[in-house]
Every structure is written in structure tokens, then in C-alpha cells.
Amino acid sequence: MALKGTIRDFGVADIFQLIGHQGKTGVLVLDNDVDEVRVYFKDGSVVRAENVSRPAQMLLGNFMVRAGMLTQSQIDLAVREQRRSLKRIGAVLIDLGYASAGEIAEFATLQMTETIYPLFEWSRGTYQFETVPVEPSPEGVQPLRADTIVMNGIRMMDEWAGIREKVPSFSLFVEPARGLSAATGRDGSVRGRGHDDASAEALEDIGPAEREVYELARPERTVREVIDLSRLGEFEACRAITVLLSAGFVRLVEPVDDALSSDTSRVGFVDRLKAGLSAASRIVVSAGLVFALASLIHDLILDSPEANAQSPRLYHDPTAYHLAASQVRVIRRALEVYRLEAGVYPDALTELVSANILSERDIRYPFSTPYFYRAKGEAPVVLPPLF
């Protein structure tokens, strides 16, 4: 089956639905210039998915470390053994006695769903489906029906906006606000009363997921850490937090400066980066705002070599122009990766360096001074420096 095109014309939900309805086997490749995701279908069901653009963050071992099941040293040892034996990391972890087959299947399923469901938020990009043989998951992941994925994906899209209003940052601390009874009804929902005589109405929406998240909530534990430790995935864990917030069982607390300076490992992504942001980089951003007019020549500089040839002050030579145009694309991709992680664009390009997304050289090359950058809503401005 030849299936390719743009996501703007044919959405992700439609693509999954078509492949599932026709019971096809093959690989669906989706690319939005920031991420490239490959989804493997067998008889219309998904058996595996991988994000090839951000491998370190989405690796199976990293999920297990963040969930507190393995240590980084154990994963490092397993990776060395994997390179020697050429086995899959799941098989190596089982051989080393670090995990059972069931645990590997659990985390591989989480890895797969956390890769797939963000696709439903894509509004641009390309897709291509190739009919090729696909084997069942070697990690023991049970196939997920395409229509089930579509139903869950659409539900998440509908609910994410409301959830993000209540949980605006993964760097916030999640703390218990009042006691929650351990009594559980036959349907899995909590039916007892809290230690402070909470009303039955407040407990109606408290199910197993909310109970699990509540048990993980504690002072100086971030939303990100609760998500990872719960093994529920970002959406389900954040949804549980919002239910607990509405019922008054937990509260979100902003990190304070002292916490950031004394133990940055316990705070979230954005706050760790801001803690390491130098005063000099903030001055660069402030100065950059003065030159906002530079954004008006954005397309001229980046997309028109002819116009650039008439502006020798901007580039010393044609080679520098082409190198700069290429580097701007690299920086733009890095900005999108940062936004996907933190929810906002950085205040300065140096934050990309602090986050280990780019190196210091990446925000200057091929120039001695950094690129001009200004966060401008949904379309940040990135320009080569003026000479």
C-alpha cells in the first residue's frame, strides 16, 4: 500500500485508522523536522514505536532509571554488555538479573505509548507507510489495536489543554494537602473517607491511578518525578494529579531559589536550566530585544542568497552564508526540542547549552559572537550576528 503525504492534509488519527482498518503490516515514518518517529504495524496493530531523533531520552533503560527501578551504573554496565554481545538491552537486563521479562514488557509498552501519543498533537510534518515484514515485539509488548490508540489519542488531545492549565510545569512540587483513605470499592475507586473527614463527593473520581499518584506525592518531589515513578505515562499521571488537585488532596508548590541553589537535582527541567543561566546571557537577551527590527529581514537573510550578496556587512563570504543558514536550522530544531521538554522556548540560546541540547560552539559557529535570538511567541527569531 503506497501511503504518503503531509499531516496537514491527512491527520495522524486518520493515518492510524486507515492502516488499522485495512489490517496492514509495515512501518509508518512520521517527520516534522524536529522528530522522526517510526511506528511498526503488524496486521493493523502497533507492536513497536521509536523516536530516532531523541534516542537518549526515550531509551528503555532511561525509563527504568527514572522510575527508580535501576541505577545509572547498572544501565551503564548493561550497555557495555549489550555492545559486547549484540543482544537487545531487554535481554541483557534479564541475563544480568536486573529485571524480569514482565518488567521489561511493562517498560517497553510505556516507551511505545509515550512515543506514539504525542504524535496526535502534530499539526505539520510528513508521513510515509511502507509495507514490509514486521516481527512481534522482542520485549513481549502486547500489540495495541490502531482504533484503541486513535480513541485514546483523541481523548488525550481533548483533555490536555485543561490539564495543562492546572499543571503548567513539570518542575512544580507535588505535596499531599490532606489525608486520603485506603478504603477501595469493588470497581477500584476509593470509597472511604480521608483522615479529615473528606466528603464522599470528593472521593468519587479517585481511582487506582489517583491513589498511586497520591502515594508518590511528597515535599520536594516534582511533577516530572511523580510521572516517572508512577509508570503511568505523562497524560495519565497528570490527569490523576488534576483530579487530586480538584478534590484538595494534593497541592502544587513553586520551587524556591534556595532549593534551586542547594539541590538542583530535585527540581524540574526548566528550573534546573534557569538556575544555571548566567547573568551575561540574560543581558544578551535584553540587548537583543532592542534590535527587534532585525526580525523584519529574517526571511531575506536566511532564504535569499541574492539579497545576501548585496549585503556584504552581514557575511564575510558565501561559505559563511551557507554555514550560517545550516546552523540556523540546527538551532531551530534544538529550540523545538527544548519547547517539547519545557513547554516554552528558552530565554536565551545559552539555555540550550545548559540543557546539553547544543554545545557552546553550536550557538556561535561559524562566527565568534553568538547568533541573535529572540523568543517571539510561536515563531522565535534566529539570525546570524551583524558585523
| Residue 258 lies inside a defined structural domain of this protein | yes
Torsion of CA 17, 18, 24, 30, to 10 degrees: -80
pLDDT of residue 2: 63
| Residue 159 lies inside a defined structural domain of this protein | no
Q: How far apart are CA 63 and CA 131, in angstroms?
A: 30
pLDDT of residue 332: 82
Task: Indicate whether 143 and 237 sit together in one domain.
Answer: no
Task: Indicate whether 231 and 144 sit together in one domain.
Answer: no
Q: What is the mean pLDDT of each run of 10 residues along the chain (387 residues)?
A: 83 93 95 92 95 79 93 93 92 95 95 94 93 93 94 92 91 92 48 46 79 94 95 95 94 72 39 40 38 37 40 46 73 79 84 83 77 77 74
Among candidate residues 265, 300, 330, the one where a domain is terminated: 265
Among candidate residues 217, 232, 265, the one where a domain is terminated: 265
pLDDT of residue 215: 95
Task: Indicate whether 231 and 183 sit together in one domain.
Answer: yes
pLDDT of residue 303: 42
Domain extent at residue 371: 276-383
Task: Indicate whether 256 and 294 sit together in one domain.
Answer: no
pLDDT of residue 195: 44
DSSP annotation of 312? T
| Residue 157 lies inside a defined structural domain of this protein | no
Placement of cell 523545538 in the chain: 336
Work out the angle at residue 261's Cα, subtended by the Cα atoms of residues 257 and 267, and round it to the nearest 5 degrees. 75
| Residue 301 lies inside a defined structural domain of this protein | yes
Number of domains in the chain: 3
Element (H, E) at 64: helix 60-66
| Residue 328 lies inside a defined structural domain of this protein | yes
Task: Indicate whether 7 and 143 sit together in one domain.
Answer: yes
Q: Is 120 in contact with 153 (CB distance < 8 Å)?
A: yes
| Residue 14 lies inside a defined structural domain of this protein | yes
Rounded to two decimals, what is the model's pTM? 0.63
Cβ–Cβ contacts within 10 Å for residue 240, how many? 28
pLDDT of residue 363: 85
The three grid cell numbers given for residue 40, joined into one nine-digit string: 511498526
pLDDT of residue 240: 96
The answer for residues whose C-beta is within 8 angstroms of residue 272's C-beta and 6 or more apart is 171, 260, 264, 265
| Residue 161 lies inside a defined structural domain of this protein | no
Task: Indicate whether 245 and 136 sit together in one domain.
Answer: no
pLDDT of residue 345: 86
Task: Indicate whether 89 and 200 sit together in one domain.
Answer: no
Q: CATH no. for residue 223?
A: 1.10.10
Among candidate residues 150, 181, 211, the one where a domain is terminated: 150
Task: Indicate whether 257 and 286 sit together in one domain.
Answer: no
Task: Indicate whether 193 and 144 sit together in one domain.
Answer: no
Task: Indicate whether 135 and 15 sit together in one domain.
Answer: yes
The three grid cell numbers given for residue 295, joined into one nine-digit string: 526580525
Task: Indicate whether 137 and 179 sit together in one domain.
Answer: no
pLDDT of residue 386: 62
pLDDT of residue 271: 44
Task: Indicate whether 220 and 87 sit together in one domain.
Answer: no
pLDDT of residue 319: 56
pLDDT of residue 217: 95
The answer for residues whose C-beta is within 8 angstroms of residue 361's C-beta and 6 or more apart is none
The three grid cell numbers given for residue 161, joined into one nine-digit string: 489543554
Provide long-range contacts, Cβ within 8 A and 24+ apart, for 373-381: 373/285, 373/288, 373/331, 373/348, 373/349, 374/285, 374/288, 374/289, 374/292, 374/295, 375/344, 375/345, 375/346, 375/347, 376/295, 380/332, 380/335, 380/345, 381/294, 381/295, 381/298
Nearest CA among 226, 194, 285, 178 for reference residue 67:
226
| Residue 26 lies inside a defined structural domain of this protein | yes
